[in-house]
Amino acid sequence: MYKIAVLPGDGIGAEVTAQAVRVLKAVGRRFKREFEFTEGLVGGAAYDTTGTPLPKETLELCHASDAILFGAAGGPKWDSLPAQLRPEAGGILSLRKELGLFANLRPVMVFAALENASTLKPGVVAGVDLLIVRELTGGLYFGKKYREDLPDGSIKVVDTLEYTTSEIERIVRVAFDLAGKRKGKVTSVDKANVLESSRLWREVATAVGRDYPDVSLEHMYVDNCAMQLIKNPGQFDVLVTENMFGDILSDQASVLSGSLGMLASASLGGRTALYEPAHGSAPDIAGKKQANPIASILSGALLLRFSFNLVEEAGCIERAITDVLNQGYRTADLLEQGKNAVNTVEMTDLIVKQILV
Ligand code: IPM
Ligand code: MG
């Protein structure tokens, strides 16, 4: 029996998470696995009912579960709340910190059927298979921050970017370990020409690299990396970078796969790992059944692989998605001329059907 905490959260988070659960249930049926799903409140949805974006019960549920499937947190409704009550800082960021989830894995794969779906030329994106390893519990996200009124009437704001050697070392090791099982190349992304934190990052990455003679290491400035990612993404295997750079570069890299709606993620490091689509709550399309459920469904596949070592089951989900895309079905974010438009639920119906054949 595998216990999964389900935290749908806000906006399209609720819609897509429900679809990922349907897919996991189908996999359970096909492979005779028993998954137990327990829902918890998080984000704005939790704030509205309990007054806090991360209720104690939710945290306890997470600690008592074997894995967490997360939807999304945030939306305009909660934007004016003080930082710690906002769904982002108070909800998902606190959850990552509380659970010690310092390693965020964001695989960017290009399904052959979607080579034409990207705004980039098919020749640029074809065959891309890269992995962004983003540090998730440090840097600007968690450093001291404040706002101060100055005597002249203006306002001063401070965000602090802190890292320690051990925080850098453990994330870089994750990247090297994974690269060793892939194409054997790590690109460490920093801004060492300007930032002290990046200079330490580069030193530590170089030192860790000596323990991995079979993996090559290159350093790349983040501005150059942003350019290289769309110019020649095929050069990358594993990218490792600090929290904020990883946030930005991963949204950008998702375009290679056709849409942010395809980008899944796994957050590891603590006893219980968390899986979530990288896309956020998308308030503009929430409640319209337009959202692409695939990022959440692929996050479910990562959950099976990383938390439960159910490799065949994870592969089954990925193959089902491949088949449905090959059959020409697309949600709105991926729609091209000549393809069949489907909504969130219809896309999932097709994937479930493919899993159960
Ligand atoms: C992500 C999201 C979050 C982040 C937001 C919702 C706080 O953009 O998971 O990439 O910045 O980490
Ligand atoms: Mg982001």
Q: How does pLDDT run across 324-343, given as a tens digit for each residue? A: 999 999 999 999 889 999 99
Shortest-distance ligand to the CA of residue 244: 1
Tens digit of pLDDT for each residue in 207-245?
999 999 999 999 999 999 999 999 999 999 999 999 999
Do both 232 and 249 map to the same domain?
yes
Q: Is 214 a catalytic residue?
A: no
> To the nearest whole number, what is the mean pLDDT of the chain?
97
Whether residue 308 is found in the same domain as residue 357: yes
9-31 pLDDT per residue, tens: 999 999 999 999 999 999 999 99
Same domain, 274 and 349: yes
127 with 235, same domain: the answer is yes
- Which CATH number belongs to the domain containing residue 306 in this structure? 3.40.718.10
Pairing state between β 103-109 and 266-268: antiparallel
d(CA 16, CA 297): 8
* Whether residue 67 is found in the same domain as residue 126: no
Q: What is the DSSP letter of 256?
A: G
What mean pLDDT is predicted for residues 82-97?
Answer: 95
For residue range 129-166, list pLDDT tens digits in order. 999 999 999 999 999 999 999 999 999 999 999 999 99
pLDDT tens sequence across 285-321? 999 999 999 999 999 999 999 999 999 999 999 999 9
pTM: 0.96
Q: Is residue 141 annotated as a catalytic residue, yes or no?
A: yes
Single residue among 238, 257, 276 that ends a domain in this structure: 257
CB 268 within 8 A of CB 216: no
C-alpha 60 – ligand 1 centre gap (Å): 22
Assess whether 229 and 203 both reside in one domain: yes
Ligand 1: centre distance to CA 244 (Å): 9
Annotated catalytic residue within 2, 141, 275, 329: 141
269: left (phi over 0), alpha (psi -120 to 50) or beta: left
**3 state SS of 36:** strand
| Structural domain that includes position 184 | 118-257
